[in-house]
Structure 1
Amino acid sequence: MSLISSFIALLKSDYPSFVSFDLVGKTLHIKTEEIKLLLNEANVQGYPIQTEEDRCRLTLPLVNKESVAENLLASAIGRSLEFFDRIDSTNTYALDNLQDLAHGSVILTDHQYRGKGRLGRSWHADLGKSVALSIVLKPYIDSQQAVLLTQLTAAALVKALEPDWPASIKWPNDVVIGGRKVAGILVESQFSGSELTGIVIGTGINTNLSRDELPEELKSKATSLAIEKNRVIDPNPIITSFLSWFDKFYTAWDESMDASPFISLCREKSGLIGKEIAVHHDQTSKSARVIDISEEGELVIRYRDTNETDRLNSLNFSVRGQSGYI
């Protein structure tokens, strides 16, 4: 562990309290001038740190691997946790190192600076403002069954946010509060020929973004947990709860191949069922009404112009509300 990483880990362990320079020096075996250099480096890297005379503290809670591991209730998911101070993309790392990562491994970071979203969209997590993590799976399933994992992940996210945040699901991969996106999911698969060798599920959650920090074009479409509660949010209990719920849903599904427990929750928490939407595909748009979510995780719709029923998979379609995001 680098000196800056050890310094941040010390501040994390005492958050939100101040840590004296004397304790920093004794713990890291450095002098006051070196502590000031560390503080300068941390500020340059964007860490939310407050300094008062001869003490310092984090002003926002960051991801604490030890806290997550200690409180995790899971049989497989998260038994192996890898943490990075900063990384381009947790999904990219997991895919690049899939052969060496065990089933259920979870990749965590404080700062993702080149994240990926569905349909090629970009996404990043600023320090203390958002959560970015990836789950590695090596299941014995086919690619059609793998489509269900987006819905399983969405169900786990909604359960993790209860009861503090009444979230709903915008099929296929967004979790929303009050019609605004608070979390997103990206599922990526890796094959050897026609054989599925692994799946990586990336999840991003807006935790402590303020309204002013949202880009102007997203103010009507996005929110954060902090905005909704008007207080600072500790990401660690949310990460722990999400991984525990994911493990519960996934373990049951892996044993029985019965998706009904999480699909029924996706139906119950759907923000689309019964609504009129616009279906975007190959640069075309058609109006439809959402009827249901199938047991295979497909969105069941009825087109307005033809009255025909169709089932959409999550691979190439994008849906929007007729007058807004949802």
Structure 2
Amino acid sequence: MTQSVMDDARVKPVRGRWRGAGAWQDTRVLAAAAAVAIGLLFGGLWWSLRVKPLPRPRAADAPPPPGIDAQLASAQGRLKTDPQDIAALVQAGTLLFQKGKDSYIEAIGDLEEARDLGALDARIFYCLGIMYQEEGLYPFALTEYRRFLRHEPENKDIRMLAAKLEYRMGMFSDAVIDYDRLQFSNPKDPVVEENLGLSLWGTKQTARAQASFEALKAYGGDFARRAEFYEGQLALEDGRYQDAADHFNRCRLADGPIPEFPAERVYTGLAMADQKLGLWDDAVSAWQQVLKATPKDLKARAALRSDQARAAAARRAAARAAKSKKK
């Protein structure tokens, strides 16, 4: 019986302290190696997906960036060897973009090819958006801007371009979403405030639009003068003619024109409000200012003749009334 117990004891594996320590060290080595491998993996991903400097379109009168022709020749040389070299396509396309509008067709071709091959470089979407927009291909430009914003959602310049295109294309609800996001990040930007108000107006959210225009007045200067015009238009649409006339008058066109804002729009609104108020002489003066800016405006000419006749009739009626009182 004693021998059997001894045999059982001998066949059981015995793990000494050095074996346990060795196993623990093996585990640490494996864990460290795994950590290094993961670090290298994510480092490589970061390097491939990092935000790269955006190329800038060249002004028509500006010289091309230095060394651009040599870089372009190198990229095009690689494409001769491998026409589907994505990195070479992106490089060639962005360099052609920087060369200016005369190279846009080639640039678009290279960048579209890279995109269709699966490239996700944000510069592709940026350059294509700019070029499509300059060529008047607004729906295509908007698609590329949205692709770019998936990579850089806080890029203010591109979100502004996208929002302006949405407004231009009548996509007012989408424009409101983008301008709301821009305003959250840029609460003191009067350009964002103004465009948000216009987009809200486009969606018939007149109360919010009115509040936005009121906020715009706080910036003073031409922002305040444009805000007065917008509020005048809102009042005119709402049938509040005296409020409309007051807002149009506060545009203060006598102080000088509002930059990039046609004066005839203000005077047309003022003339229409004065007509509704029966202020025929004031309406005549406003229509005359419209025709001074746009002499060939046939509707303004017809309105002026009509209001001149009404003003004359009103003066005759006033004269008869005054004569009757004397009697």
- TM class, shorter-length: under 0.3
TM-score, normalised via structure 1 length:
0.26
TM-score, normalised via structure 2 length:
0.26
Structure number having the greater strand percentage: 1
Higher relative contact order (Cα pairs below 8 Å, separated by 6+ residues): 1
Highest Rg: 1 or 2? 2
